[in-house]
Every structure is written in structure tokens, then in C-alpha cells.
Amino acid sequence: MKIAVVGATGLVGTKMLQVLAERNFPITELIPVASEKSVGKEITYNGKQYKIVSMQTAIDAKPAIALFSAGGDTSLEWAPLFAAAGITVIDNSSAWRMDASKKLVVPEVNGNILEATDKIIANPNCSTIQMVVVLKPLHDKYKIKRVVVSTYQSVTGTGVKAVAQLMNERKGVVGEMAYKYPIDMNAIPHIDSFLENGYTKEEMKMVNETKKIMGDNTINVTATCVRIPTIGGHSESLNIEFENDFDLQEVKNILGKAAGVVLQNDDENFLYPMPISAHDKDDTFVGRLRRDETQPNTLNCWVVSDNLRKGAATNAVQIAEVLLQNELLN
């Protein structure tokens, strides 16, 4: 089982390597890939040293799977070349997500749609992943009409430069700015570029990807995405309107049993999801469950997940696990 990790030196690529090791993915040969300037440098995986190779060298090595986390332009150029060589690509960029010919997969939600012929599989946006993991079991029971989501997203979603900016600001050091404004002691209601409709790309990703992953275009989603100075993960406030009424205890029971979900909903003991407690964990945490008292059949909840793990690296590795378990690799 040869596995290539493309973008192996980045935040998500590094996390992919960590998750592969932690989950004991049966790798016989690791092929780390990064930019040309990194070729020849070494990384450590499971206590062993591996040399970074070029894209073409990785293709020539014929891995079974290539986990891509190297940006949309790189993926558009190279993923088809890997796929043409018979390599299954699991891509973490936004390049293929809304391509009608490509599957957009969260294993707990729609992992059953994967087939051996899928050679480029898209990993959804981090904010969408954690939301749909919570929405799916509720949709199956009560049928969702509309979701209003506000996100509170970690600087790690932007990358190394954003983490450095936050830490520099905390120390009073002037350095490179990943954002137009200071992020420490601030909240920036702007993630990705603005579109003509006044929403950002990040917000519209949540709208469009949710429909595709859930396989239901009737689910209405509206989003406001905000960057905040946290490290451990993304947080989301969800207001979910159902077609059918629900019992709150039944909702708790459903989410308590849902795959990949951990219920943290104990007001008396101040137990609720937070980025600091979700950090470096693979689950999606949900709490603050309460009925919206202003309109019928509507639930409020709070969802938190580590955006580098379930929001990116872990979800990609879980897709690879599904391919392996269901013998979908050539």
C-alpha cells in the first residue's frame, strides 16, 4: 500500500501524516511530495526519515492513493495526471468540490456513494464537514428545511502565516500580515473573497456543498463566516428548521449515537463544546441544544471540531479507509 501525501510540509499535509500514523493506516511505502524547492529535504514519519520528491516522481512510483493538500491550482494541474496513471486522488482543495463529475464525501454522511471508478474524490470545506456530520442524522429523522449558520473559525484555517500573525500580535512583534486587519482581540467577518451577492466564497461553499453532500437541493442554508483568534478548531452556531416537530430528548439521543459525533450538553456542569477541548481530536462535538422559542420545529445548537483534523486531514484519511475497506482500490 503505497501512499503519496502531496503538500506534505504544509499545515494540513503535516496533520495528514500524523493522522495516518495514529490510525495505523497500512502504509508499505510513504511518498511525501512538496514544492520543487523542498525536493530532497527530509521529513519524519513513524520514526523514519523520508525524502521529499517531485510530482512526477510520485506519479512514477504508482501509489494506490494520493492525499492532496497543495492548493486548488496545483490540484487542477496535477490531480488529473495522477488519476490518469490509475492513482486515486483525495483532494483537500476547493478545485473539484462542485464539479458534477466528482464525489464530495464525508464518510459518516455519504461514504456509501464511493465507487472504484472514482479517481478524484473531493474533501469538503472544513466548516461544511463538521456541520453536515451533525445535520445528517437529524435530517434523516425530521427533514431539514433551513439552516442559519454563523461560524467562528480558527486562524489555522488560513495557514501558517495567520498563526504567526496571531502569535506575533500577542507578543507585540511587527511581522507579516496574513489578514488585512489585526486578528488578536478581534473578529474579522471575512473569509475568502467577496462575491457579487455580498457573500464570501466561504459562505457560499457552506451553502452549495451542504446540498451536494446531503444529496438534497431542498435544504436552504444561509451562512456568515467569521475569523476569530483561536487555534484549536472551528465553532458554529446552528439554527435548524425542520419540516417535522421534534422531541428535544430524542434529538439528544440521536446525536449521542451518531457516528463521529460527541454530545457535550450538560448545562448544570457547564459542559459544552469549545475549540480548546476539541483540539487534536477527530470527533465533532455538539451541545447547547435548545428549542428556538420564536418559531416552530426549530433547534439551536453549537458545534465545534478541529478544522485541521476532521475538517481536513482526518476526513481525507477516513475516505481512504472506506476505499480500502470496501476494496475500491485498483
Which DSSP symbol is given to 292? -
Q: What is the mean pLDDT of residues 285-309?
A: 98
C-alpha cell at position 222: 444561509
Name the average pLDDT for the chain.
97
- The per-residue pLDDT for range 38-90, each reduced to its tens digit, is 999 999 999 999 999 999 999 999 999 999 999 899 999 999 999 999 999 99
Is 234 a residue of the active site? yes
Q: What is the mean pLDDT of residues 18-36?
A: 95
Catalytic residue among 225, 234, 279, 301: 234
Nearest to 274 by CA among 236, 217, 227, 248: 236
Question: What is the pairing mode between strands 88-91 and 103-104?
Answer: unpaired
- The per-residue pLDDT for range 154-190, each reduced to its tens digit, is 999 999 999 999 999 999 999 999 999 999 999 999 9
Which class does domain 127-307 fall in? alpha beta
Domain ranges (residues) in the chain? 2-124+312-325, 127-307
Top pLDDT among 292 and 232 is at 292
Output the pTM of the full model. Answer: 0.96
Query: Cα 137 from chain centroid?
Result: 18
CB under 8 Å to 45, separation ≥6 — which residues?
17, 20, 21, 30, 32
CA angle 286, 158, 314 (to 5 degrees): 50
CA distances from 213 to 128, 247, 293 (A): 9, 26, 29
Q: How confident is the model at residue 36 (pLDDT cuts 50, 70, 90)?
A: confident
Is 139 a residue of the active site? no
CB 151 within 8 A of CB 223: yes
- The per-residue pLDDT for range 112-138, each reduced to its tens digit, is 999 999 999 999 999 999 999 999 999
CATH 3.40.50.12140 given to domain 2-124+312-325:
no
- Neighbouring-strand partners of residue 285: 262, 304
pLDDT at 330 over 80: no
Q: What is the mean pLDDT of residues 264-291?
A: 97
Catalytic residue among 126, 139, 225, 301: 126
Give the chain's end-to-end CA distance (angstroms, integer): 11
Question: What is the pairing mode between strands 261-263 and 284-291?
Answer: parallel
CA distance 57 to 50: 14
CA distance 131 to 249: 20
